[in-house]
Structure 1
Amino acid sequence: MKNTVTLIATAAMGLEAVVANEVRQLGYKDATVENGKVIFEADHDAIARCNLWLRTADRVKLLIGEFEARTYDELFEGTKALPWEQYIPEDGKFPVTGKSHKSTLYSVPDCQSIVKKAIVEKLKQKYGIANWLEESGSEHKIEAALLKDKVTITLDTSGAGLHKRGYRVGQGDAPLKETLAAALVQLTNWRVDEPFFDLFCGSGTIPIEAALIGQNIAPGFNRSFSAEEWTFINSSIWDKALEEAEDLANYDQPLAIYGSDLDPKMINIARDNAMEAGLADLVQWKQMNAADFHSKEDVGYIVSNPPYGERIGDKKEVEAIYQKLGAVLKDYPAWSKYILTANENFEALFGQKASKKRKLFNAFIKTDYYQYFGKKSK
């Protein structure tokens, strides 16, 4: 097997550039950005390192092959021609998922079935098996994606999505994905020696992700990944990646991170989640109305995902919250404020035009990330 592989870090719409930046920071410079993904060449070590370190990617996939297919025969032969024996052992389990968009072969169940059949044939041939494959070993989840008659076949190295850090023991009605929360922090220019507040913290995701970033803790440090079980990846690669993550973590970095919420139940959940993440003493939690915010600090950062009035809370109630928030934060011109909301009238309600706006998706809700840069004192 060749030493380098092609990896695809998948990303939520609007976060591709953030994911690409993370990939490059890990040392993989030639990253190509496409819709919903970042593609790059790397060594096997990158499979472990990217799963451990990528804060904003959804998952890391290994590209097995690409080819054109307009008939089921072409799909079968193209799949069978790929070197499956290099990746899947004799007892390997390999469920196949699929998707098809603007392709001649539009029936996803049929495509999945053909791809599965082709891999079975190839492995039986290579391993000299006459009857059936047991599939009792480690899982190798395969995806066959058809787009305009081009077939892309990948192996999912992550298993559970990368947003599943392993610390969420409780959540509210509309939890923010950990990957999006990390992106909201990374899209600011917050520095670890400055105060960081989330005034609508819910289950605590934004402050927890800020603390992980602040102490340079790998987000995947406390979870496992599918590729850890794969025989073609040397287990020493994972040991080395975990060792590197441990060495790079700065557990002594002092942080001033605060999370507040009106709902005392959410504060208890946030506290439990922070404890599960090993950050019990790093974030300070408080039950508080956002309109009661007060700080003696000259500068600081507020990063929040308040209610939108769509899924939780009534629209008028939510708009009143935005107005009160704007009135309170007007007294902190040197502070930087970053607010994610689906409400298109936010700037008018908040009483100030944003320095910058960025379109993002929170689950399937189209939102804007309103960025207000703190005014430098003269």
Structure 2
Amino acid sequence: MSETFFAPCPRGLEALLAEELRACGATHVEVTHGGVSSEGDWAYAYRANLESRIATRLLWKVGFTRYRSEEEIYRLASAVTWARHFDTINTMRINVTSIKSPLKSLNFVTLRIKDGICDHFRQIRGGRPDVDTVSPDMRIHAFLTEETCTLYLDTSGEPLYKRGFKRAKVEAPLKENLAAGILKISGWQPGQTLLDPMCGSGTFLIEAAQMALDIAPGLARSFAFEKFRHFDAELWREIRRAAERRQRDEPELPIFGSDIDPRQLANAEANLAAAGLAGKVELLVCDVLDLEAPDDEGVMVSNPPYGVRLSSGDELQDWYPKLGDTLKRGYAGWNCYFLTADLEMAKRIGLKATKRTPLMNGDLDCRVFEFKVVAGQNRG
């Protein structure tokens, strides 16, 4: 039986996510603002959770209604057959988001949805699930438009960008699904040389190494669907085994990372080790302005400092032209990609951006600037 799903993702990566979901077996794929809707069976849902590098989570549509008041939303919540999906021993959390909803209080809507779910369980099971806002077994998501309410049951649990292994943290970590999307935007392919010269905790490096070794991003973690009452454990074992069998093992990869701060490199090294990638990536303590290219050509990706993160605006105005000089002098033949919230970066760096891709990094309106560096490239 085909079910309907919605997968949110960082804004700007919807088309790339649609490609991923089709590869997992999705049908009726439709790109919308901030995510992708799709249809498929439970094998598809399991596979999408395991394999998607870009989705934030996979939501299963379980209810829909038009509404004019909170009571109609309550009736929808009480009518969904929740007791077929999970039990009273499971904890739950309810998240409500809206666009142009006329209702005055989303908190009250959340309360009425909770009341509807609990009343359903009392009627069917004689008890009700407890609420856990920190680490629930089940996450119920409600999305309100001006006239409609859709209820989803989260098949993922923790966000999918939480791969299950990253340990060391830095001041401004880049989410894994955004890093994976930027790698795909860059066109980098396994086997090509890749460099992140300001690698921080190593997010780009880990995502690239997993892609190079064909490691499914969800192999190290668990998912909410494993607690569903209709969970097919044998089907899930088969899907996991297929992913494990296709993994490759190479002693070293042409993937390089550097950072001016040795503490950041220690974080990256710890995270690579936690991901089972110790020794696969070459790390170096070095200022990007002094770093020699590790190959004659390759792809550079980075999330440089842009005021919000590490440096003041005045420092950046002086630093960007130096970065441009470094690229021009030492990286002819390289394609360079920088994620930044500083929309003036392309003008300040002194090189012509060949492409600008809008992306949202959390609440920050960002761009991925592409610079194709050629020998003797003119500045300004």
Residue 133 of structure 1 pairs with residue 143 of structure 2 = no
**Deviating more after overlay: 337-346 vs 255-264:** 337-346
2:343 maps to 344
CA distance in 2, matches of 1:374, 1:30: 40
Q: 2:299·2:335 contact (CA, 8 Å) conserved in 1?
A: yes
1:230 maps to 228
Equivalent AA in structure 2 for residue 21 of structure 1: E
Q: 1:12·1:36 contact (CA, 8 Å) conserved in 2?
A: yes
* CA displacement at 1:94 relative to structure 2: 3.1
Equivalent AA in structure 1 for residue 348 of structure 2: L
Equivalent AA in structure 1 for residue 19 of structure 2: N
Poorly superposed stretches of 4+, deviation over 6 Å: none
**Deviating more after overlay: 289-298 vs 158-167:** 289-298
Question: Could you list the per-position Cα deviations for residues 268-327 of structure 1 after superposition, in whole angstroms to 9, with x for gaps in the alignment?
Answer: 110000000100111111100101121362211111111002231122222333211211
CA distance in 1, matches of 2:137, 2:221: 17
Alignment map for 1:1-378 (pairs within 5 Å): 3-127=1-125, 129=126, 132-133=127-128, 135=130, 139-252=137-250, 255-295=253-293, 297-331=295-329, 332-373=331-372
CA distance in 2, matches of 1:72, 1:156: 22
* CA displacement at 1:157 relative to structure 2: 1.3
Question: Could you list the per-position Cα deviations for residues 42-64 of structure 1 after superposition, in whole angstroms to 9, with x for gaps in the alignment?
Answer: 11112221111111111111110
CA distance in 2, matches of 1:72, 1:136: 20
Q: CA 1:367 to 1:106, structure 2 compared with 1: closer, same or farther past 3 Å?
A: same
Secondary structure of the corresponding residue to residue 186 of structure 2: coil
The TM-score normalised by the length of structure 2 is: 0.92
* CA displacement at 1:136 relative to structure 2: 10
Q: 1:215·1:253 contact (CA, 8 Å) conserved in 2?
A: no
Equivalent AA in structure 1 for residue 354 of structure 2: S
Secondary structure of the corresponding residue to residue 50 of structure 2: helix
* CA displacement at 1:254 relative to structure 2: 5.1
CA distance in 2, matches of 1:79, 1:167: 35
Gaps of 5+ in 2: 376-380
Secondary structure of the corresponding residue to residue 8 of structure 1: strand
Equivalent AA in structure 2 for residue 93 of structure 1: T
Equivalent AA in structure 1 for residue 345 of structure 2: F
* CA displacement at 1:89 relative to structure 2: 2.8
Equivalent AA in structure 2 for residue 202 of structure 1: G
Q: 1:357·1:368 contact (CA, 8 Å) conserved in 2?
A: yes
Secondary structure of the corresponding residue to residue 271 of structure 1: helix
Gaps of 5+ in 1: none
CA distance in 1, matches of 2:345, 2:129: 57
Q: 1:100·1:107 contact (CA, 8 Å) conserved in 2?
A: no
CA distance in 1, matches of 2:86, 2:238: 23
Q: 2:64·2:150 contact (CA, 8 Å) conserved in 1?
A: yes
Q: CA 1:345 to 1:110, structure 2 compared with 1: closer, same or farther past 3 Å?
A: closer
Question: Could you list the per-position Cα deviations for residues 160-199 of structure 1 after superposition, in whole angstroms to 9, with x for gaps in the alignment?
Answer: 1111112221121111111111111111121222211001
Q: CA 1:134 to 1:17, structure 2 compared with 1: closer, same or farther past 3 Å?
A: closer
Equivalent AA in structure 1 for residue 234 of structure 2: S
Question: Could you list the per-position Cα deviations for residues 191-238 of structure 1 after superposition, in whole angstroms to 9, with x for gaps in the alignment?
Answer: 222211001101111111111111111111111111112221111232
| Alignment coverage as a number of residue pairs | 371
Equivalent AA in structure 1 for residue 358 of structure 2: K
**Deviating more after overlay: 365-374 vs 248-257:** 248-257
Q: 2:118·2:129 contact (CA, 8 Å) conserved in 1?
A: no
CA distance in 2, matches of 1:286, 1:366: 31
CA distance in 2, matches of 1:134, 1:350: 56
RMSD: 2.1
The TM-score normalised by the length of structure 1 is: 0.92
**Deviating more after overlay: 88-97 vs 68-77:** 88-97
* CA displacement at 1:101 relative to structure 2: 3.1
CA distance in 2, matches of 1:190, 1:253: 20
Equivalent AA in structure 2 for residue 43 of structure 1: D
